[in-house]
Amino acid sequence: MSTLFWNARIWDGARGFSPGQLQVDEGVFVQPGGQAHQEIDLEGAYVLPGLWDSHLHLLLLARSLGQVDLSNCRDQFELLSRLERAEGEWVEGFGWNESHWDNPDLPQLEQLDRACDGRPCWLTRSDLHSGLTNSEGLRRAGITSDTPEPAGGRIACNAFGQPTGVLADLAMHLIQRVIAVPDRSRLKRLLVQACAGLHRYGIVGVCDQRIKDQDDGPLAWELYQEMRLPLRIHCNRAAHEDLRQGPRFLEGDDWLRCGHVKFFADGSLGSRTARMRECYQATGERGLWLTEPDQLKQGFAHAHALGFPVSVHAIGDEAVGAVCRLLPVHPLDRIEHLQILDQNDLVQLGPASAVASMQPLHLLDDRTQADALLGERAHGYYRLASLQHRGVRLAFGSDAPVASFDPWLGLQAACLRRRGACEEAWYADECLSREAGLWAYTRGASESLGWKRSGLLLPGWLGDFCVLDRNPLECPWPSEVSVLRTVVGGKTQFSL
């Protein structure tokens, strides 16, 4: 089956678009002009290679779609009112963030009990680092004022020593282990929904990341193998898995491949656990190592010896600096986030450095907090233009469900460093060029994952592309771009 897509303006991978056509046969691009069974008029629209999201959590994203959406709540009352519509034995919600509320007070246990009509609840904060439960949830998890805090976790208590329902980091497992994981058929339905959502934005491929201390890697691999989603999936493994068992690096086919080994050097900026060289402003703390540099070094050596590149979460400047000195060993080694970069480390980087896998939308979400916690050092936050000038390979993603997977919002964050006209750019000297931003969402991303024939519109390459209503290099606000059509392996998976 051969399809010709004609009357298009096609991106040349660098400076611009020129009139042309594309032909896909058996899922891959061929030289246009041969016999076609079907012809589709693209009406002069703009065509890019299909986009990649180089850092998201696909299984968590799918699960979040089955939960009450608590993002963009303006206060606790709005949060409570949304819970009343919830179905199920547990009321599960996702995405609240009190730091965006005028009044950051969280609801009390009794208020949550009433809103959930006596059912237990578990409401995960947008950063996945804490959650909120109610009296019934505490009861089912067996959490009382006598429960000891697990290492690396926090059970928040009031002045009388009673749990408030807020559980942070590794204390979240106390609840998570008593909530049933949705059954496979429900998970599969949610994954199909997540995949359709990605197609709406022109995304054709993802790198599925692991979460610290969660063993969902083998389940993810199994589900993706059974489902054969119309999405290119690079499925990472966790550092604590037995890497000698299970799939090897890039094992699989053009739909599903086994990915990098994921490590965590430090925590996050919002919870002040990102590891810094100097203390956060107004606190005497420098953050944490989740894995000490010596242990990282050993872990990397083990993964490399088995043929895996590594993918390392590093956010604070000390963690980023340490990982930059240890990598790359494998040419596809990646640093995830690379949020705060010290000038002395920046000047050591270049085209042969580890890939910088970054999620530009975090820059707008973290802006206020970074200024407050870092002062002048916030200039080191997401130094995109500096990295580009030094020739460091960039790969962009979203971190969904932690942030929106809309790559057009992400492109805007990278290139304009502001949400809209009412806001000033944040460190405008670090704005990235549009061309470099698009590259980081297309070939920059797929190349960093080791996918050989994905991310360019060339004969012999995977027949994936997206069709846009306007020129993303020239429109004032990239977030205004609408995707008209997303084609994966020659088949239209979304059209407006």
Residues binding Zn ion (CB under 5 A): 209, 399
Closest separation between CB of residue 492 and Zn ion, Å? 30
Q: Closest by alpha carbon to 303, among 233, 358, 215, 238?
A: 238
Closest separation between CB of residue 210 and Zn ion, Å? 9
> What is the DSSP secondary-structure string of 266-306?
B--TTTT-S--SSPPTTSS----BSS-HHHHHHHHHHHHHT
Q: By C-beta, is 311 or 442 nearer to Zn ion? A: 311
Q: By C-beta, is 399 or 430 nearer to Zn ion? A: 399
Closest separation between CB of residue 287 and Zn ion, Å? 17
Closest separation between CB of residue 399 and Zn ion, Å? 4
Neighbour tally for 32: CB within 10 Å: 16
Closest separation between CB of residue 209 and Zn ion, Å? 5
Which amino acid type is present at position 299? G
Q: By C-beta, is 40 or 403 nearer to Zn ion? A: 403
Closest separation between CB of residue 14 and Zn ion, Å? 30
CA 218 – CA 244 distance, rounded (Å): 14
Would you call 425 helix, strand, or coil by DSSP? Answer: coil
Closest separation between CB of residue 34 and Zn ion, Å? 43
Q: By C-beta, is 138 or 233 nearer to Zn ion? A: 233
Cis peptide before 328 (omega within 30 of 0): yes
Q: By C-beta, is 399 or 447 nearer to Zn ion? A: 399
Closest separation between CB of residue 55 and Zn ion, Å? 6
Q: By C-beta, is 136 or 399 nearer to Zn ion? A: 399
Closest separation between CB of residue 269 and Zn ion, Å? 13
Q: By C-beta, is 135 or 268 nearer to Zn ion? A: 268
Closest separation between CB of residue 400 and Zn ion, Å? 9
Q: By C-beta, is 342 or 399 nearer to Zn ion? A: 399
Q: Using CB atoms within 10 A of its CB, is residue 325 exposed (0-12), middle (13-18) or buried (19+)?
A: exposed
Closest separation between CB of residue 361 and Zn ion, Å? 12
Q: Closest by alpha carbon to 495, among 5, 1, 123?
A: 5
Residue 78 host element (H or E): helix 76-83
> What is the DSSP secondary-structure string of 128-153?
SSEEEE-HHHHHHHT--TTPPPPTTE
CA 468 – CA 338 distance, rounded (Å): 30
Tell me how far CA of residue 193 lies from CA of 66, 188, 254, in angstroms.
Answer: 10, 9, 21
Cβ partners under 8 Å of residue 35, min gap 6: 2
CA 410 – CA 415 distance, rounded (Å): 9
Would you call 495 helix, strand, or coil by DSSP? Answer: strand
In the chain, what's the furthest Cα-to-Cα distance? Answer: 78
Q: By C-beta, is 399 or 406 nearer to Zn ion? A: 399
Q: By C-beta, is 395 or 468 nearer to Zn ion? A: 395
Q: By C-beta, is 113 or 399 nearer to Zn ion? A: 399
Q: Which residue has the tokens 């904060």?
A: 125
Residue nearest to Zn ion (CB): 399
Phi, psi of 220, deg, nearest 5: -60, -50
Q: By C-beta, is 29 or 221 nearer to Zn ion? A: 221
Neighbour tally for 98: CB within 10 Å: 16
Tell me how far CA of residue 366 lies from CA of 97, 268, 273, 337, 390, in angstroms.
Answer: 12, 11, 14, 13, 25
Closest separation between CB of residue 236 and Zn ion, Å? 10
Q: Using CB atoms within 10 A of its CB, is residue 465 exposed (0-12), middle (13-18) or buried (19+)?
A: buried
Q: Which residue has the tokens 């949400």?
A: 419
